[in-house]
Amino acid sequence: MAGFSEHPLRSLAAWLADTALSRTLQTVDWLVPAIQTAHILAVAVVISSVLMLSLAVFGLHGREQPLSRSVARFAPAIGVGLPVLLVTGALMIAAEPDRALPNPAFQLKMAMLVGAALLTWLYARSVRGTPATGPARPLVVRLAAGTSLVLWVAVLVAGRWIAYTLSR
Amino acid sequence: MTIATALEALYATALATQIRENEFAFPWIESLHVLAITLVVGSIAILDLRLLGWASRDRAVTRLSAEVLPVTWGAFGVAVLSGALLFASNAPKYLDNRYFQAKLVLLALAGLNMLVFQFLLARNLATWDAAGATPRAARLAAALSLVLWASVIACGRWIGFTMLAGY
């Protein structure tokens, strides 16, 4: 497929693979697994915080306290985890640009990531000021929490599939 | 029957062959395994950070552990089951892998740490509900838990790189 190799993302990948950063990442053995370990630890922080927040929204946790307190507890953790994910993720792309950029699993992951992050931010912000206690949570917020939880899980799964979706 | 022949027998089972040879079985089980382990580590970290007094200080320890530990144990069960399936797909090779061996030892230590916490340190959990009242031994167990689980994740990742399977 001659034309396929001219795909702009492939040209970008080829350029990126030739940078000093990429060549360091390619040659030092332990760098990529170390970065992936940091990435998974940050995933653990984000996905667990999202789950805890969702359980509070569904009324399964912390029913005796306002939802805003759950947001105050877990939103900052997501705010710390997400930048770590972006930086370690960017380094993984730099290490093997051709494995990621033109890979459909990677592209799907990025699209879902934007949706998941945006939806979480929106619903967390909408309940930040709620003084109400008790199990009554607005249906729209519960729907948003459920959808974002599913999206975050899908982001994680798509991330693992990058390793198995051949892009060459 | 020696361990070697037992591992060979496991390798030859229909289930192991299916996981090894089916194009989708391994990645799907692995995805589930990663999801489970991130929930184990993330949820236990919430409790560990609370015990260390670094987060959730306004939440009583008893309440927080009642919320967090069911998630931890549920996810841990899924992680063990999915991990056993991945192991079964190529048992002799995994058992031969240094990082796999290290991961098993670290898991045992993390488990031991949890048992010590649950049955020795946390017997009077309610008496240290307030932040800042956590006994020194419990804080040590929390710090140990964070380090051990992070090491388990690191070993898991290094297994992928040294087994030359999907990484």
pLDDT value of position A136? 59
pLDDT per residue, tens digit, chain A (168 aa), is 444 556 788 889 988 998 999 999 988 889 999 999 999 999 999 999 999 999 999 988 877 788 888 898 999 999 999 999 999 999 999 999 988 999 999 999 999 999 999 999 999 988 877 665 555 578 889 999 999 999 999 999 999 999 998 654
pLDDT value of position B83? 96
Residues in chain A closer than 8 A to B164 (CB atoms): none
Distance CA B33, CA B39 (A): 10
pLDDT per residue, tens digit, chain B (167 aa), is 688 898 888 998 989 998 988 888 999 999 999 999 999 999 999 999 999 989 888 888 888 989 999 999 999 999 999 999 999 999 999 999 999 999 999 999 999 998 898 888 878 888 887 767 788 999 999 999 999 999 999 999 999 888 865 44
CB contact under 8 A, B31 and A164: no
E strand or H helix at B142, and its extent? helix B136-163
pLDDT value of position A2? 44
Domain annotation covers residue A101:
yes
pLDDT value of position A1? 43
DSSP-assigned letters across all residues of A43-95: HHHHHHHHHHHHHHHTTSS-TTS-HHHHHHHHHHHHHHHHHHHHHHHHHHHHH
ipTM score: 0.90
pLDDT value of position A6? 64
Residues in chain B closer than 8 A to A161 (CB atoms): 27, 31
DSSP-assigned letters across all residues of B40-109: HHHHHHHHHHHHHTSS-TTS-HHHHHHHHHHHHHHHHHHHHHHHHHHHHHTHHHHHT-HHHHHHHHHHHH
pLDDT value of position A74? 93
Give how far B135 is from chain A: nearest CA, Å. Answer: 23
Nearest neighbour of A33 by CB, restricted to B41, B43, B157? B157
What is the number of domains present in chain A? 1
Domain annotation covers residue A9:
no
Provide residues of B within 8 Å CB-CB of chain A: 27, 30-31, 34-35, 37-39, 41-43, 45-46, 55-56, 58-59, 67-68, 71, 150, 153-154, 157-158, 160-161, 166-167
CA end-to-end distance (rounded Å), chain B:
34
Cα dihedral A84, A88, A91, A93 sign: negative
pLDDT value of position A35? 97
Distance CA A91, CA A95 (A): 6
Give how far B27 is from chain A: nearest CA, Å. Answer: 7
Domain residue limits, chain B: 3-163
Size of interface A-B (CB pairs under 8 A): 83
Distance CA A104, CA A119 (A): 23
Tokens of B51: 């015990």
Report pTM. 0.91
pLDDT value of position B4? 86
